Amino acid sequence: MLSAEDNEILTRVGPGTPMGNLLRRYWIPACLSAEIAEPDGPPVRVRLLGEDLVAFRDTDGRVGLLEESCPHRGASLFYGRNEECGLRCTYHGWKFDVTGQCVDQRSELRPFSQRIKTGSYPVHESGGIVWALLSAPLGGPAQTLTPFRDFGTESLPAPLATANKEVIYCNWVQSMDGDLDTAHISNLHQFDAIDGIPDDGTDEPGYPSGYQSMRFWRHDARALIEVEDTWHGFRYAGIRVTPNGHQHARITAYIFPASTIIAQIPFSTRQIFVVPADDYTTHRYNFTTQPPQNPRGYGGPVFFTYPTYPFEMMAQKGVVPRPYNRGNDYLIDRDAQKGVSYSGIRDFRSQDAMATETAGPIYDRTREHLGSTDVALIRMHRLLLRCAKALAAGEDEVTLPALAGDFRSIRGAEKILEEGEDWRVLGTNDDPVVQEALKAAEDDDR
Ligand code: FES
Ligand SMILES: [Fe+2]
């Protein structure tokens, strides 16, 4: 449970709020590169931390992220003409380059464009995402720039860079809470056919098949949660007992302030970054950071019919559609709920959306009753609150976690533990299966 005051601090991200100021210290996704793929193509609206912006790619391929409102008399630059290295407002023809500098005033008798600069933010494209740093207030003084954090995408070959974006209609912390909550997979994401999966011999110390992992989620709903604090935030394990009596660990990494790498067999580097569009709307980016590394095909594909996200319905440009939503009760199928799936909702991500969105636009955490399943998200709330308050109190910013470091060494992981094996090693550079994969990648490069 949080006090009403702490819940406000935790969830509100607009300009001048403690959490908004904290998030503005970090580079965050603004939009997908694919949304503004074409030079001189249509600009897109970008709502980010409660601010209304517009992104566009100019004639030379450079990306601009400007205040949406034209500094002349406020018309929206979303309707502007993207032409000849600038975005031109169609009301009176003022034109702005990617830095926000006004470069033309075609209707003025005595142009003064050199004195007009509209609000703009620094951007950096990496891994199919346009990242932005909102540390300086629009039009305000430039502040010390935080270095861009390379999660691995800087050296990722372009064809391997895949990123998508999903819109979630609730506060960003609710979405983060779901990503740091391994316990819910034993309930929300269950379906009855898992009972028919036979033991294929991988329910023993080592790496189970993907099928067996699902059996374990279903078999033991009482995961033991353990957390290890790290330089980038923390990693945590959900430890379940398997049907054969072994310890199965799923390890997820939290990268401060709003990113996770979720467990996968044998380890994972695919990353999630949650960005508040505003206090009530969240953009959840899912992106590749490193070439796929799975030396022996551990886990393997699951050739089993179960509810997956309808990727075949993914819209062009990587923006994931939301056919199941609160407006249609996520198309819950009450018959399916009695004999097919635990939730009766079609796919995993819609199940997640149901759980997080229906807690309300901003969940009132003075009313929650937390238990043993909630240890990891409690740690996240505390860390965020501590940092937001320290920043508001004027303490030195070096206290902020995860501003720099080897982000490529952060991984999720999943394994059935050997006798005496410590889950904390899994997925780190000290894990033999990681070393094997890194060596294989090195050999491939030669
Ligand atoms: S309002 Fe944009 S040019 Fe006048
Ligand atoms: Fe989930």
> What CA–CA distances, in Å, run from 172 to 278, 279, 375?
8, 7, 18
Ligand 1 centre to CA of 111 (Å) is 13
Res. 33 pLDDT band, cuts 50 70 90: very high
Domains of the chain: which residue ranges? 27-148, 163-445
Ligand 2 centre to CA of 180 (Å) is 9
Q: Tell me whether the omega of the peptide bond preceding residue 257 falls within 30 degrees of 0, making it cis.
A: yes
Ligand 1 centre to CA of 80 (Å) is 10
pLDDT of residue 314: 60
Q: Give mean pLDDT, residues 73-88.
A: 98
Q: Helix, strand, coil proportions of the chain in percent (round to 5)?
A: 30, 25, 50
- Residue whose structure tokens are 């467990």: 263
Atom of ligand 1 nearest to the CA of 75: 1
pLDDT of residue 15: 94
Ligand 2 centre to CA of 300 (Å) is 20
Atom of ligand 1 nearest to the CA of 77: 2
- What pairs with residue 283 in β-bridges? 167, 275
pLDDT of residue 383: 97
Instruction: Tell me the per-residue pLDDT of 378-408, one tens digit each, with 9 for 90 and over.
Output: 999 999 999 999 999 987 655 789 999 999 9
- Residue 178 CA: which ligand is closest? 2
Higher-confidence position of 90 and 395: 90
Q: Give mean pLDDT, residues 112-117.
A: 98
Judge if pTM exceeds 0.85: yes
> What CA–CA distances, in Å, run from 307 to 135, 179, 191, 272, 353?
41, 18, 8, 21, 14
Is 90 exceeded by the pLDDT of residue 302? no
Torsion angle in degrees (nearest 10) through CA of 343, 181, 349, 48: 140
Instruction: Tell me the per-residue pLDDT of 330-359, one tens digit each, with 9 for 90 and over.
Output: 999 999 999 889 999 988 899 999 999 999
How confident is the prediction for the chain on average, in pLDDT? 93
- Residue 186 CA: which ligand is closest? 2
**222-236, 291-305, 331-345: the lowest-pLDDT one:** 291-305
Which residues in 131-151 are b (16+ Cβ under 10 Å) and which e? Answer: bbbbbbebeeeeeeebeebbb
- The protein residue with its alpha carbon nearest to ligand 1, atom 3, reads 92
Atom of ligand 1 nearest to the CA of 74: 1
* Residue from 66, 73, 96 to probe ligand 1 pocket by mutation (most atoms less than 8 Å from CB): 73
H/E stretch holding 436: helix 432-445
H/E stretch holding 433: helix 432-445
- Antiparallel, parallel or unpaired: β 102-105 and 123-126: unpaired
Topology at the third CATH level for domain 27-148:
Rieske Iron-sulfur Protein (2.102.10)
- The protein residue with its alpha carbon nearest to ligand 1, atom 4, reads 92
The set of long-range contacts for 390-396, using a CB threshold of 8 Å and a minimum separation of 24, is 391/18, 391/21, 391/22, 391/25, 392/18, 392/21
Chain mean position to CA 365: 22
- Residue whose structure tokens are 């600009």: 43
> What CA–CA distances, in Å, run from 145 to 15, 134, 142, 403?
17, 10, 8, 11
- The protein residue with its alpha carbon nearest to ligand 1, atom 1, reads 73
The set of long-range contacts for 307-311, using a CB threshold of 8 Å and a minimum separation of 24, is 307/191, 307/341, 307/346, 307/347, 307/348, 307/351, 308/347, 308/348, 309/347, 309/348, 309/349, 309/350, 310/346, 310/347
Which residues surround the ion ligand 2 when the cut-off is CB under 5 Å? 352
Distance (Å, whole) CA 373 – CA 381: 14
pLDDT of residue 312: 52
Is 80 exceeded by the pLDDT of residue 445? no
Instruction: Tell me the per-residue pLDDT of 232-254, one tens digit each, with 9 for 90 and over.
Output: 999 999 999 999 999 999 999 99
Distance (Å, whole) CA 258 – CA 167: 15
Is 70 exceeded by the pLDDT of residue 307? no
Ligand 2 centre to CA of 225 (Å) is 16
pLDDT of residue 138: 55
| Other Cβ atoms within 10 Å of 196 Cβ, number | 8
- Antiparallel, parallel or unpaired: β 271-276 and 123-126: unpaired
Instruction: Tell me the per-residue pLDDT of 269-287, one tens digit each, with 9 for 90 and over.
Output: 999 999 999 999 999 999 9
Is 70 exceeded by the pLDDT of residue 306? no
pLDDT of residue 292: 83
Instruction: State whether residue 255 is helix, strand or coil.
Output: strand
Helix and strand numbers, DSSP H then E, in the chain: 8, 20
Q: Tell me whether the omega of the peptide bond preceding residue 42 falls within 30 degrees of 0, making it cis.
A: no
For 117-136, the three-class secondary structure string (H helix, E strand, C coil) is ECCECCEEEECCEEEECCCC
Ligand 1 centre to CA of 69 (Å) is 9
Distance (Å, whole) CA 372 – CA 19: 26
pLDDT of residue 395: 74
Measuring from each residue's beta carbon to the nearest atom of ligand 1, which residues come in under 6 Å?
Answer: 70, 72-75, 89, 91-94
Q: Give mean pLDDT, residues 170-196.
A: 95
Res. 315 pLDDT band, cuts 50 70 90: low
- Residue 180 CA: which ligand is closest? 2
* Residue from 68, 70, 88, 103 to probe ligand 1 pocket by mutation (most atoms less than 8 Å from CB): 70
Is 80 exceeded by the pLDDT of residue 145? no
- What pairs with residue 67 in β-bridges? 53
pLDDT of residue 48: 98
Percent of the chain exceeding pLDDT 70 equals: 94
pLDDT of residue 123: 95
Distance (Å, whole) CA 158 – CA 231: 29
Burial degree of 310 (CB within 10 A; 0-12, 13-18, 19+): middle
Distance (Å, whole) CA 438 – CA 427: 12
Is 90 exceeded by the pLDDT of residue 147? no
Is 90 exceeded by the pLDDT of residue 310? no
